[in-house]
Amino acid sequence: MPSDPKRVARALLSVSDKTSLVPFAQALARRGVALVSTGGTRRTLAEAGLEVEDVSDLTGFAEMMDGRVKTLHPAVHGGLLAVRSNPEHQAALRAQNIAPIDLLVVNLYPFETALAKQSPFETCIETIDVGGPAMIRAAAKNHGDVAVVVDPADYDAVLAELERHGGVSAGLRRALAQKAFARTAAYDAAIANWLAGQIGESTPAYRALGGALAEALRYGENPHQAAGFYRTPEQRAGVATARQAQGKRLSYNNIADTDAAYECVAEFDPERAAA
């Protein structure tokens, strides 16, 4: 049995990407997990016949400001951050009538999608998630007690451990926490870099690097080195947005050489150049 599996009695689900959400929540409900949710996620689950507590019932406050404020509340963050083995934390939960949250399932407003579509400034601003990253960071910090899932691809791994061990292992909780922090870092990097472009700042005080793994490369600059190809959300024409028509998995050198060739050709006037 894996070390320190943590039982899941209560889960909070709030997602933009609803891929596989309903079967995942149904599997949790069959295990007796109490479900708490927000807005559109709660409606989706309720329409599937699941019993779901609205987060506003948990907090005692209705969503406000067009949904900008709904989970930023001690009843949520206290349930995520309380260390189960800390008597003072447990006393605080009891004093404030806060129920612990053992599993957080959140994926963020699709800011990168809005950016890729070159959406207007105000649309991009309204697609910046605030409550989601706050909850993710709280749960990831407290991964000693809480499992946090930011990617539907990880639903099966969580369910498999619940089925086999009755809880989520320390190893999986830590791996999920790492992925969660990486996700919020990449999300914030996309926002920061977009805003730098909006104000024409080419040398910001802090340079944020982000992106999602597009492909694990065959090897790095040398065959003994590992490498990954990461794509940022801007969707600029080039190697990052090109489709490989055939051939084996690329190496770092393949990517670098192809990019250099593309950038050289891009310097020519397309009406008067041939390649």
pLDDT digits (tens, 9 = 90+) for 123-158: 999 999 988 999 999 999 999 999 999 999 999 999
pLDDT tier at 270, thresholds 50, 70, 90:
low
| Digit-coded pLDDT (tens) for 13-63 | 999 999 999 999 999 999 999 999 988 899 999 999 999 998 888 877 667
How far apart are alpha carbons 191 and 234 in whole angstroms? 11
CB atoms within 10 A of CB 112: 23
Burial 8-38 (b: 16+ CB within 10 A, else e): bebbbbbbbeeeebeebbebbbeeebbbbbb
* Residue boundaries of the structural domains of the chain: 10-197, 212-266
212-216 and 228-231 beta bridge pairing: antiparallel
Which CATH topology does 10-197 take? Rossmann fold (3.40.50)
Q: Characterize 116-138 residue by residue with b for buried, 16 or more Cβ atoms within 10 angstroms of its Cβ, and e for exposed.
A: beeeeeeebeebbbebbbbbbbb
Count, residues in the chain = 275
Two structure tokens written together for 235: 């969707």
